[in-house]
Structure 1
Amino acid sequence: MTALRPERESGTSYGEQSYEGAGALGEWYEEAQQPSSYEPQGPYASQEPYEPYVPPADDETVALRIPDPPESISASEASSVTRVSDVTPGGRAARRKAAKRRGGRHGAGARPSTEPADDEESSAPLSRVEARRRAKARKPSPGVLASRAIGEVFITTGVLMLLFVTYQLWWTNVRAHAQAGKEASNLQEEWESGKRAPGEFEPGQGFALLHIPKLDVVVPIAEGVSNKKVLDRGMVGHYSEGALKTAMPSAKTGNFGLAGHRNTHGEPFRYINRLTKGDEIVVETQDDYFVYKMTSSLPVTSPSNTSVLNPVPPQSGFKEPGRYITLTTCTPEFTSKYRLIVWGKMVEERPRSKGKPDALVN
């Protein structure tokens, strides 16, 4: 090696080499090999071990703190102040009142209220004047009683009207259809058995069946136009009394006049306004079928216009006596202010023995 190195002493190994002449560097090296045992010397030897200096906390730099109580609050009151919002301005009397509301001057529990509770008031005996006053206050005024009575009247009236409308528009039809159906069945049974012979009929007695194929109507024809005996039972009535008497279908000439309800009570003539020229109208009796064809109509006329039932009705278009049929009913619907008239002319008389006419077969 070319590096410089200290010379060896005789009898001394390399590991025990001496560094004589090294000076301050040698002394430093020896001290570095020993454990540190520094002790202060001189006048500071008896002082405490060194500690770093920590300056006292500056109150002005603390982020959150409780402020000192104002000078106007005593020391005993200051102990109850826990935050800035608890300090109540307005003098000592105001602060004392605020402290009482918060639970006492010194933070004690809330004092019981000296005011009587509601249940105590209700249980406390009342004077006669006070009891009368409260009873009068609880009693409804005349205006309230009157409004209640009027409201009940309106409700009752509305219910009755609803029941009446339901009866007229629904129940009367149900009952009339049942009565008319029973009468039609009785007629057909009697015709098949031969118990009934054609001739004069009593008011209310059924004697024929009216067919209007276009409207799908099959309804009994009874003698007379009484509401109670005929029309309200769902049947069609024959004008057969007094000045309104009309001919029977079997007559060689004449006008066979019929009346029926347009609304309620079976409403057999409700849609006769839909009939057009040429539509068939068939009257079935015990022995014959009488087939008519619709010729004309009168949409609106007065109920007193009885000329529509004449042997030759003036507004029908007929010019000479013949075998005609006249259907009459009320108009507009659900009223009886005017009358609707439909006329027809007989085109075929067919014995029952020959079977049904084409109008009832097709």
Structure 2
Amino acid sequence: MRRGRGVRDLLARGLWVSAELVVTLGLVLLLLVVHQLWWTNREARQDAGRTVHALQREWDLPPPDGPAGPSGEPVMPEPLPSAAGPTGTRNPPAPARTTSPRWDQAYAVLRIPRIGLTAPVAEGTSKGGVLDRGYVGHYSRTAQAGQAGNFSLAGHRNTHGEPFRRIDRLRRGDRITVETRDAVYTYTVDKSLAQTAPSDSGVIAPVPRSNITTSAGYSEPGYYLTLTTCTPEFSSRYRLVVWGKLTSMRPR
């Protein structure tokens, strides 16, 4: 009898310890989920918001004195040319940046009214220095905002601020603006590609066209914007792509 009772007690203790381990593991997993889905978003959004405000304050400061003209007065830069309208030239002129942004440097602000997005744009697409901070990352070998070619951007769809979570809701004709120190560029959403492979580099080419779905994209040079993110949600298996065209620009 004592031996049978001892076995039962041992089994009961084993079951109790197992139950405690399961509950502890469940709590740890729950905390990890909360950290990924709530805390990383909170921290990244705060960081991104501070960066946007810092850029705006910096841009609002008076510019340093430029080179003096013959009369001793500072030489003022020429105004930016107006972008072509519906009846203008196909490819509007755009000023080129005189210097490239430093790696991981935030240097522009992206705004997409349709999905209520305001986010800083930083150079490069590294996770630690750019994407995980809630920033939108610029593919460094693509054109800059307003330049001929393809201004290509990447952003998280889930966690770490998830700036591109809702870009699947963008529709043709939606407005996207990119503000820099010198100008505000407006792009208009034109096309999208619901799913392609991460290796499909054609979507960020100077003339963007999918290497996989060859009917998706463009065939002529222009002034393009590309947004890329992971799809489906909570997965990095495929990429979702949205394309736009430069439709206007104005000096800041």
TM-score bin (small chain) = 0.7 to 0.9
Residues 256-278 of structure 1 deviation map (CA, whole Å, 9 limit, x = unaligned): 11000111111111111111111
Post-superposition shift, 1:185? 0.9
**In structure 2, how many angstroms separate the alpha carbons of the residues matched to 1:248 and 1:299?**
24
For 1:182, the equivalent position in structure 2 comes to 50
Matches within 5 A, 1:20-169: 137=5, 141-169=9-37
Equivalent residue, structure 1, for 2:195: 300
Tell me which residue corresponds to 2:67: none
- Offset, 1:247: 0.8
CA contact (8 A) 2:203 2:217 kept: no
Find the counterpart in structure 1 of residue 143 from structure 2: 247
Equivalent-residue separation in structure 1 for 2:152 and 2:143 (angstroms): 8
Give the alignment of 1:186-225 within 5 angstroms.
Answer: 186-194=54-62, 199-225=99-125
Hey, what's the Cα distance between the residues in 2 that align with 1:219 and 1:194? Answer: 24
Write out per-residue CA displacement over residues 192-251 of structure 1, whole angstroms, 9 at most, x where no aligned residue: 1156996222221100000101111111000111111111111100011xxxx1111142
What is the aligned counterpart of 2:222 among 298, 314, 322?
A: 322
Change (3 A) 1:162 1:208: same
Deviation at 1:145, TM superposition (A): 3.0
Equivalent in the alignment of 2:80: none
Determine whether 1:285 maps to 2:180: yes
CA displacement at 1:148 relative to structure 2 = 2.2
- In 1, the alpha carbon distance for the partners of 2:62 and 2:101 equals 16
Residues 104 and 129 in structure 2, CA contact (< 8 A), matched pair in contact too: yes
In the aligned structure 2, how far is the partner of 1:306 from the partner of 1:151? 49
1:342 aligned partner = 242
Which one scores higher on RCO, CA 8 angstroms, separation ≥ 6?
A: 2
Higher helix share: 1
Question: Over alpha carbons, which structure has the higher Rg?
Answer: 1
Structure 2 gap segments, 5+ residues each: 65-96, 211-215
CA distance in 2 between partners of 1:307 and 1:261 (Å): 20
Q: Paired residue for 2:78?
A: none
Q: So what's the TM-score if we normalise by structure 2? A: 0.80
1:258 aligns with 2:153: yes
Q: 1:271 aligns with which of 145, 160, 166?
A: 166
Question: 1:57 corresponds to which residue?
Answer: none
Q: Distance in 2 between matches of 1:317 and 1:157?
A: 47
User: Could you tell me how far 1:306 is from its partner in structure 2?
Assistant: 1.1
Deviations, residues 158-184 of structure 1 (Å, cap 9, x unaligned): 001111111111111111111001101
Aligned residues: 215
Question: Do 2:195 and 2:241's aligned partners in 1 also have CA atoms closer than 8 Å?
Answer: yes
The amino acid that maps onto 1:169 is L
After the TM superposition, list the runs of 4 or more consecutive aligned residues in structure 1 that deviate by more than 3 angstroms: 133-142, 194-198
Distance 1:318 1:135, change over 3 A: closer
Query: Structure 1 residues 337, 281: closer, same or farther in 2, change over 3 A?
Result: same
1:347 counterpart SS class: strand
State the one-letter code of the partner of 1:248: Q
Give the whole-Å Cα distance in 1 for the aligned partners of 2:225 and 2:219. Answer: 15
Q: Which amino acid aligns with 1:265?
A: H
Partner Cα distance (1:165, 1:211) in 2: 29
Aligned residues of 2:152 and 2:204 also touching (Cα < 8 A): yes
- Assess, with a 3 A threshold, how the Cα gap between structure 1 residues 195 and 257 changes in structure 2: closer, same or farther: same
- Deviation per residue, 1:82-133 (Å, 9 max, x gap): xxxxxxxxxxxxxxxxxxxxxxxxxxxxxxxxxxxxxxxxxxxxxxxxxxx8
CA RMSD of aligned residues (A): 2.1
- Per the alignment, in what secondary structure is the counterpart of residue 242 of structure 2? strand
Name the CA distance, whole Å, in 2 between partners of 1:183 and 1:198.
22
Residue 279 of structure 1 deviates from its aligned partner by 0.7
Equivalent residue for 1:170?
Answer: 38
Where 1:202 maps in the other structure, the secondary structure is coil
